[in-house]
């Protein structure tokens, strides 16, 4: 499946085209250049990836793509649920970083793919989506917190 996604690199928004080539493999086109990238060690089941049907805003699965015309800076691919911790319904950090914004409050109804919070990692803003429909039971972090990979962020019910 092929689609356009909006990514933010060093605070600058870019629109890139992402085409799924196979399991964990994508073709990312940006400013007239194309790169084949592989998504690995994401901490989520690859079967959970959902390619976009149309343009989406700040997706959540990081893949390698240039921030300038050089191929090596991580960037976002199509929407995918954030990984869950050992407990069912606990959304955990897919990578270490800093919590920039919390997009939901306790008691909010959320749908699968809806943004829960924005995590800054490697100078990129990563919107962490809900892995399922549900209600926000607890927000376990606050804006400005530094988190580690796998750390519980939000509990859904």
Q: What is the pLDDT of residues 85-99, one digit of tens each?
A: 446 789 999 899 999
Domains of the chain, earliest start first: 2-77 (no CATH), 90-156 (2.40.50.100)
Q: Are 42 and 61 in contact (CB under 8 A)?
A: yes
Q: Which residue has the higher pLDDT, 137 or 67?
A: 137
Query: What pLDDT is recorded for position 136?
Result: 95
Q: Assign 6 to helix, strand or coil.
A: strand
CA geometry: angle at 91 spanning 64 and 126, to 5°? 30
Q: Are 102 and 119 in contact (CB under 8 A)?
A: no
Q: What is the pLDDT of residues 28-73, one digit of tens each?
A: 887 788 888 777 655 544 444 444 433 444 444 555 555 555 444 5
- Beta strand 109-110 pairing with 152-156: unpaired
Cα separation of 53 and 76, whole Å?
16
Cα separation of 67 and 112, whole Å?
28
């Amino acid at each position: 499946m092929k689609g356009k996604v909006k990514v933010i690199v060093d605070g600058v928004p870019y629109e890139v085209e992402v085409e799924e080539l196979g399991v964990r493999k994508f073709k990312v086109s940006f400013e007239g250049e194309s790169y084949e990238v592989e998504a690995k060690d994401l901490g989520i089941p690859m079967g959970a990836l959902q390619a976009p049907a149309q343009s989406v805003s700040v997706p959540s699965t990081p893949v390698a793509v240039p921030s300038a015309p050089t191929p090596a800076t991580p960037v976002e691919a199509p929407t995918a649920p954030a990984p869950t911790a050992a407990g069912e319904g606990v959304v955990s950090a897919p990578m270490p970083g800093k919590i920039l914004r919390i997009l939901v409050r306790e008691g909010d109804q959320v749908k699968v793919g809806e943004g829960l919070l924005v995590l800054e990692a490697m100078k990129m803003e990563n919107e962490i989506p809900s892995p399922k429909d549900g209600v926000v039971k607890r927000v376990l972090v606050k804006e400005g917190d530094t988190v580690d990979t796998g750390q519980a962020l939000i509990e859904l019910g």
